[in-house]
Amino acid sequence: MWWQSFLMSWGCIPELASDCSDMTNASSAYLGIIIGAIIGGIISWMIYSRQKHTSNKQDHTLKQIKAINDHQEMMLKRLEDSDKRHDRVLDTILELDKRIDSIVEGQERMFKSIKPNKVP
């Protein structure tokens, strides 16, 4: 019963009703709208699915980049600390070198002062 009333409001579609000879303009428009909605829905779902996949890959890549960045920052901090230690060691070595030079100069002066002057 409802099927017949639907077909009467739909119009004559030969594919759906056996006693129809031609499709009306209204039924053609309805059929076009339905097919367009189905195709639009499929295309929209495909676009959404592709964008979601791309978004997930981008999120994963960003997480990897952040992890690499964090690791590099840690390495830079270690290098900076190592550089500071090397600077302190170098400063200590230079200070020791100055002390050794002053001791050597003092011994040379002392040796010169003790060494008898040769009289010609």
Q: What is the pLDDT of residues 19-60, one digit of tens each?
A: 665 656 776 788 889 999 999 999 999 999 999 999 999 999
Q: Which residues contact 7 (CB under 8 A, 6 or more apart)?
A: 13, 16, 17
User: What CA–CA distance (Å, rounded) separates 115 from 120?
Assistant: 15
pTM score of the predicted model: 0.51
Over residues 54-73, the mean pLDDT reads: 97
